Each structure stands twice: as structure tokens, then as C-alpha cells.
Amino acid sequence: MIGKDIRIERIMNRNTNRSVIVPMDHGFTLGQIEGLLDMTRTISEVSEGGANAIVLHKGIVKRGHRRRGRDIGLIVHLSGSTSLNPDPNDKVLVCTVEEAVALGADAVSIHINLGAPTESRMLESAGQVVRDCNRWGMPLLVMIYPRGKGIDPISPASVGHCVRVAEELGADLIKTNYTGDPISFGKIVRSCSVPVFIAGGEKAGDLETLHAIRDSVRAGGAGVCVGRNAFQREDTRAFVQALCRVVHDEMDPETALSRSQ
């Protein structure tokens, strides 16, 4: 697994073994959304803010990745669906691991919604991706969430089930929902053998977002995968700087924000 180890070093901080990852795959799902209209600029701002890695769909890589400024890890997202679909939770593969290798990716990611009507197909696709990742030495980030009728998306039981499924599939990194409190989240993290990141979720206030991230890190989380809560800020670079200070330096959120202004 040397190939995986080398690539993971490009998306994880060696000193903290944590990461600040900024997914920017939302345009596929939602269209031309605010914050992702000028991809070259947004990627540059996220990079300058100190993020460890970004998540892009294959066609967007050429629009800014590594063309200027500070280098940053590249995660190519393999899953897709659109908000125009009656069931946007139905994710299908739109890229392959081999394509990601050709693009110079440091990792790939897939999306699974447990509890969705098409759960079985997403799990089957994940098994295929895991085999390809092991063949190519490519790290896999599994973004997995409890999403279905009558399912509480932040209940410790549901989130814990998601994490366990991702680990048993063979994920190298896992992104899921934060349970809302460090005690229940800490129990989930301690029961998993691979790094677990929390999702940023819907856009929230600066301090609210940073406090949740701080609590998850203190509970043993590996950091954050935050999209709209980063690239839709008035000052994306400054907010990403604050994120990095909270995740890597365990800085108090208020202090992290004041130093980034």
C-alpha cells in the first residue's frame, strides 16, 4: 500500500494527522451556485487559506488546480446526481479511478446514502471502486450519510452505522455527519480504525461552524470536509485560515477568527 501512503501524505497534515478538505463538487448537483462561478479564483482562495485538499469533479480539474499559488491536494469525486432528479440521493459513478490517476489525483471520493431506495446499488458501486483503488494504490474517501424516510441524519446510531459500513467496505478516509455532541461522536471515532471527518453541512454562522469543528476534533475527529461553509463566505481565504487554525492548532474559534481578519 505504499502508493496509498504517499498520496495520503499530500492530503493529511503530517504533524497533526488531520486535514481541512474543501469539497467543490456542488455545481454538478446544484448548477451554477454562488461561490463556484469562478472556479479558478475560488480554488486559489481556498489554497491560499491553507486547506490541505479540495474535491473536484474530473472536468473542473483543468479550471484552476495547481496552476498558480500554493500547491494543494487533489481528490477527484467519482459520484454524481442532480437536484433535477426526483431522487437526488441516488448517486451513480460518473468517473473511474483510472481516470483520476491520469488527472494526477491524490485520492478519490464516492458518495453513499444509507437508507435511500438505491442504497444497494451505491454499495455495489463502492465495492467496485474499492477494488480499483487497491489496484492503483489510490486512497478512497467515502462520504456516507444516513438519508432516508424516517431516519435521523445525526443520531449516533445512524452515524455510527455509516462509519462502520464505510470502514468494512475498505475506506481509507470517511466523511459523515457530526452527531452534535463530542461524547457520542468520540465513541464513534474510537470504534473506527481510519480517520473520520465531519461534513460542513448547510451554511451556518462563523462561530457556530468553528465550534462544532473544534468539538469534533477534541473528540478525536480527523478534521473537516467543508464546502458551502467555506466557499460561500464573504472572505473565503480568511475563513479557511480560521478552519485550519482550529483543526491543526486547536485554537479557540474566537481567536482563530480574529487572527484571520
- Residue pLDDT, tens place only, 15-74: 999 999 999 999 999 999 999 999 999 999 999 999 999 999 999 998 865 556 678 999
- Residue pLDDT, tens place only, 200-250: 877 678 898 999 999 999 999 999 999 999 999 999 999 999 999 999 999
What average pLDDT score do residues 81-100 get?
95
> Exactly one of 91, 175, 178, 206 is catalytic; which is it?
175
Contact assessment for residue 227 and residue 28, using Cβ atoms and an 8 Å cutoff: no
Residue 90 catalytic? no
Residue 178 catalytic? no
Q: Pick 86 or 175 by higher pLDDT.
A: 175
Contact assessment for residue 81 and residue 91, using Cβ atoms and an 8 Å cutoff: yes
**pLDDT (0 to 100) of residue 66:** 58
Non-local CB neighbours of 181 within 8 Å, separated by 6+ positions: 215
- Residue pLDDT, tens place only, 133-191: 999 999 999 999 999 889 999 999 999 999 999 999 999 999 999 999 999 999 999 99
**pLDDT (0 to 100) of residue 30:** 94
**pLDDT (0 to 100) of residue 68:** 62
Q: What is the four-CA torsion angle of 92, 8, 159, 96, rounded to 10 degrees?
A: 10
**pLDDT (0 to 100) of residue 206:** 85
Q: Is 55 exposed, middle or buried (0-12, 13-18, 19+ CB in 10 A)?
A: buried
Instruction: Note the CATH number of domain 2-259.
Output: 3.20.20.70
- Residue pLDDT, tens place only, 104-125: 999 999 999 999 999 999 999 9
- Residue pLDDT, tens place only, 198-212: 998 776 788 989 999
Cell 435511500, residue?
116
> Exactly one of 145, 172, 178, 215 is catalytic; which is it?
145
Domain ranges of the chain: 2-259
In whole angstroms, give the CA distance from residue 92 to residue 113: 11
**pLDDT (0 to 100) of residue 63:** 80
Residue 25 catalytic? yes
**pLDDT (0 to 100) of residue 65:** 59
What average pLDDT score do residues 92-97 get?
98
pTM score, whole prediction = 0.95
